[in-house]
Amino acid sequence: MSPARTTARPTRRPSRTCPGAPAPQSFPAALRACLAALAAGALLASCATVQRDLTVERLPEDGYAVLDSHERDLVLLEAQPDRAALDALRSRLAETGSRPVLERTWSARLAALAGRAALLAQDRPVADRELRKALSLNPADEVARVLEIRLERNADKRKALLEEALKTAETQVRLRAELGRILLAEGRYAEALAAFDASLPFLPEPYEAVYGAERRRALALRDASAPAGSALLSDRPVSLQDLAALVQAESSLVDFLTGGKDWAPGILFERLRAGGFYPDPAAPGTAAARRGEAAFLLWHLAANRRNDRSLLRRYSDRYRARPNPASPVPDVPLEAPWFDSVLGCVEREIMELPDGRNFRPLDPVSGLEFYRWLRRAADL
């Protein structure tokens, strides 16, 4: 009898789920779920990062005041080097920049200051790096342009950089102080003195410690290699005719009349007066020059050079169009013959308000004062 044949049943693997639990997902489905969870986590992390960046990139209210304080400290160290104090300043600058902000002009100024501090520490590679950073953020930053000039070793290239910076920088007072230093080195003492006087009164006090000695040297040596108008470059008051002589000797603003030739001061004065470059057509050349007349002459010469006569009425037209016309300068009324000239010279920083409010148009003018204003006007 043949043995009975039995059929083996397949062994069932135990289920990995508890009774009543849903069926396990296939491998692709599980992978998709896992990836989705990771993506969600990454999104949450990204949102958290964005929120954190927005927080650290907010410029503090005193952000620019902090930079001004750093600059004052740096300038004092340029006048009186102190390695320990310089190292401490560099650490403070690094700490200030440890939390980047969105304000590009602020970041550019900070990088420029850090570069100047590095240059003072004779760390040229870092100074170069900070300069590139500053110029990439704001090519018109004046402190960065000063750093660029100081890093240049070639004197001719340094001067070319300065001349270009004077045309493109947002402000110019620091650059004019550098110009004074360059002109002094060239033996152009009167021009150097004018450049210093066009800058130092408008800079923080520590700058006097850096450039003061050079300014005093320029003052002492200006007659050693004097330009044609040097006899008038003093603190003594000058006449209306003297103003014309200084313009001819120290600028090219009257070349449209003289063709670059030297005219007798009396003849030049008469031609300028007849051409409307003085407010009083009957004033004699020997009359004492006043601040109002100096502003009138300089502003009219500047408008002539720019071939823009609208400058001669720009401010009076603007202020007379207001509901209650009034001059912003108390001692220069709208009706004053030099109203437009005064406002133009003050706005373009050719001349200043001595007390920050009044112009004092009837005060006498010295040759050295007028020379300083003339150099600014000639650069417009």
Local confidence pLDDT in tens for the 380 residues of the chain: 444 444 444 444 344 334 444 444 444 554 455 445 544 454 444 444 444 444 445 677 778 899 999 999 999 999 899 999 999 999 999 999 887 777 899 999 999 999 999 999 999 999 999 999 999 999 999 999 999 999 999 988 999 999 999 999 999 999 999 999 998 888 888 888 889 988 998 998 899 988 988 998 888 776 544 455 567 878 889 999 999 999 998 889 999 999 988 898 999 999 999 999 999 999 999 999 999 999 999 999 999 999 999 999 999 999 999 998 999 999 999 999 999 999 999 999 999 999 999 999 999 999 989 998 998 998 77
State the pLDDT at residue 155: 86
Rounded to whole angstroms, the Cα distance separating 9 from 344 reads 108
Tell me the residue type at 94: A
Question: What is the dihedral sign for C-alpha 176, 371, 274, 228?
Answer: negative
For residue 104, give the nearest of 68, 140, 73, 71 by alpha carbon. Answer: 140
63-221 is classed CATH 3.40.30.10: no
Domain segments of the chain as ranges: 63-221, 230-378
State the pLDDT at residue 58: 67
Rounded to whole angstroms, the Cα distance separating 192 from 180 reads 4
111: left (phi over 0), alpha (psi -120 to 50) or beta: alpha
Cα distances (angstroms) measured from residue 218 to each of 107, 192, 197: 36, 6, 11
State the pLDDT at residue 28: 52
Which tokens sit at 264? 């007798």
Which tokens sit at 194? 């004018």
Half-sphere exposure for 364 (CA within 13 Å, toward CB)? 11
For residue 368, give the nearest of 229, 251, 269 by alpha carbon. Answer: 229
State the pLDDT at residue 257: 92
State the DSSP H helix or E strand holding residue 150, giving kind and residue range, or none if neither: helix 142-151
State the pLDDT at residue 35: 47
